Structure 1
């Protein structure tokens, strides 16, 4: 397995969707909504990807200002490539693209919740989520 890593290499919607389907992340993403998937890729301003030849085997998809905050919205590794260090490398390469004061922020998938503390993240219980269709009240 000779995996190469790329920063902001173009990724097709089909490649992205297939990767999410082949990882546990596909269960929590709108993989059947092509327009949404297109928006997710085209509006991300930092994408670090892992490739085995022409096969996309990992992705760290982020939205960031590069100076203060980077929201790592998708971290996915193909099931056949998990536990080989690809996820850690994707996060490290993402971090390398950011300024020295920029924080990497993510919402952990339930099965991965304990993983992040083991690799250096600190837990923050102050996150709030406003679901689609919910109107902000008084």
Structure 2
């Protein structure tokens, strides 16, 4: 099936939550809080989506200044569509919209620790998290 990649698609909160549930990322995101998801979608300033027809099958959601750093907050691909290069292509589509020198930073999900080095990412032991609430 042909996958279409878009940077201009409007993604509903409901379809995003369903995608996250169908990916491994749903275990670590507030899928029971549509209000938070609405903010996540609305406030990301670079979002690339992958579509199989009318179905949302992947998303790369970033916060970025486009020149120095892009924080890839979420990379989610529907389990039924994984291992088809969709995640890799979402990262490529993201990179194409950033300045050449701009780095992409992310926190890997435990199951993705082996995935990112294959795409050229380097591990960095200096990530820190200050949780809210």
Taking structure 1 as the reference length, the TM-score comes to 0.94
**1:103 CA drift (Å):** 0.3
**1:9 CA drift (Å):** 1.2
1:34 maps onto 2:34 in alignment = yes
**1:95 CA drift (Å):** 0.4
Q: Deviations over 1:51-108 (max 9, x none)?
A: 0111000000000000000000000000110000000000000000000110000000
Question: What's the counterpart of residue 19 of structure 1?
Answer: 19
Taking structure 2 as the reference length, the TM-score comes to 0.98
Confirm or deny: 8 A CA contact 1:8 1:46 kept in the other structure.
no
Q: Any gaps of 5 or more consecutive residues in structure 2?
A: none
Question: What's the counterpart of residue 60 of structure 1?
Answer: 60
Q: What CA RMSD, in Å, does the superposition of the two structures yield over aligned residues?
A: 0.7
Structure 1 runs, 4 residues or longer, greater than 6 Å off: none
1:127 maps onto 2:127 in alignment = yes
Question: What's the counterpart of residue 74 of structure 1?
Answer: 74
Larger Rg: 1
**1:8 CA drift (Å):** 3.0
Distance 1:102 1:6 in 2: 20
Q: Any gaps of 5 or more consecutive residues in structure 1?
A: 134-138
Question: What's the counterpart of residue 44 of structure 2?
Answer: 44
Confirm or deny: 8 A CA contact 1:60 1:76 kept in the other structure.
yes
Question: What's the counterpart of residue 85 of structure 1?
Answer: 85
